[in-house]
Each structure stands twice: as C-alpha cells, then as structure tokens.
Amino acid sequence: MIKVAIIMGSDSDLPVMQEAAVMLDQFGISYELTIVSAHRTPERMYHFAREAEQSGIKVIIAGAGGAAHLPGMVASLTHLPVIGVPVKSSNMSGLDSLYSIVQMPPGVPVATVAINGSKNAGILAAQIIGVADASVAEKVKSYKATMEKEVLQKAGKLEDKGFKSYLEEQ
C-alpha cells in the first residue's frame, strides 16, 4: 500500500525530488510521485490534499521553489505530517524557497529540510513511518550504520594514503 506521496510544483523540480523516491525505494516504502502545482493547478492540489488520508497516505513530501506555497498549502488542507523541500531557485539560490516553506504561522507546521534536501526528506519520511513500524525503524538504523561505516572506510583510506594520493585518485 502506498504510504508516502512525493509531489512537486513543476517537472523542473524532478531531478531534485527524485532523490526522495530513491531513498524510499531503498527503505522498501511504497510511494506515489507526481506533479501538483499550488499556483497552476489549485483544484488538483485541493483534492489531492483533502483525499490523501483516505488513500492511505501517511506522510506527504512536497517540493517547490521560489514563492514556494505547495508544502504550506497542502499542510493547511490535511492533518498528515508534511515535509517541505525548498528547491534551489535560479535567482535567489533557494533562500526564497526556504523562507516561503519554513516560516509557517502557528497552527500549520511544515517539516522543512535543507535547500535541495530531497534525500533527507525521504529519510525523514522513513523515520516518521518508523515510529509505528519497527521494521522500517530497523532499516533506518542500518542505513545510518552503513553511512558511518563508509565514512570510517574513507577516513582509513585517507589516513593510509595521505591526502595527496587520495586526491589524485578522485
């Protein structure tokens, strides 16, 4: 059953937003991924958000850039947790996206991750689902353990070779 919805304001956000999908695949969490524009398809957004709960969706990941209203508007239309991904904009480096998403008024939170932090949105969705699903929680734990191991390996390699050889091999 589909547990997470990944939505974005435009297909130009897809190269960034796909990283959330890749993480969910890795955690074995089913998801749907589509385009929902707050500004160009407001009716679609309305119905999507209102019906998300009944479709069995547990967490919504919403990415948008510029005057990024999608995450906040979806959050206003559902009681499900909404994760907001500020997509880097061409003119303000994503500061406009970040402020538009994170500075929500009291009553309607959006769980905001870093600019272009779509991968972390996927992990956060898994952490949230893991609150109730121990098998997902285990997968997050083991993901973190793997990540640690990889850094330790790189550290070992760097110490062994010295930084000059290490850089040459990159």
Site for a copy of itself in 115-134 (CB under 8 A): 115-117, 119-121, 123-124, 127-133
Verify binding: residue 106, a copy of itself, rule CB under 8 A.
Answer: yes
**Closest approach of Cβ 73 to a copy of itself, in Å?**
6
When binding is defined by CB under 8 A, the residue of 47, 114, 135, 165 that contacts a copy of itself is 114
Verify binding: residue 77, a copy of itself, rule CB under 8 A.
Answer: yes
Q: Determine whether 124 is exposed, middle or buried from the number of CB atoms within 10 Å of its CB (0-12, 13-18, 19+).
A: buried
- Distance, in Å, from the CA atom of 87 to the CA atom of 77, rounded to the nearest integer, reads 21
When binding is defined by CB under 8 A, the residue of 26, 55, 135, 159 that contacts a copy of itself is 159
Contacts of 37 (CB under 8 A, 6+ apart): 9, 10, 44, 45, 70
When binding is defined by CB under 8 A, the residue of 5, 61, 62, 83 that contacts a copy of itself is 83
When binding is defined by CB under 8 A, the residue of 30, 36, 55, 62 that contacts a copy of itself is 36
C-beta atoms surrounding 127 within 10 Å: 15
When binding is defined by CB under 8 A, the residue of 66, 135, 165, 168 that contacts a copy of itself is 66
Residue 119, CA distances (Å) to 26, 60, 79, 108 in order: 11, 14, 23, 23
**Closest approach of Cβ 98 to a copy of itself, in Å?**
7
Between 55 and 93, name the residue whose CB sits nearer to a copy of itself: 93
C-beta atoms surrounding 55 within 10 Å: 11
Verify binding: residue 2, a copy of itself, rule CB under 8 A.
Answer: no
Asked if 3 contacts 56 with a C-beta cutoff of 8 angstroms, the reply is: yes
- Distance, in Å, from the CA atom of 43 to the CA atom of 45, rounded to the nearest integer, reads 5
When binding is defined by CB under 8 A, the residue of 26, 56, 67, 165 that contacts a copy of itself is 67
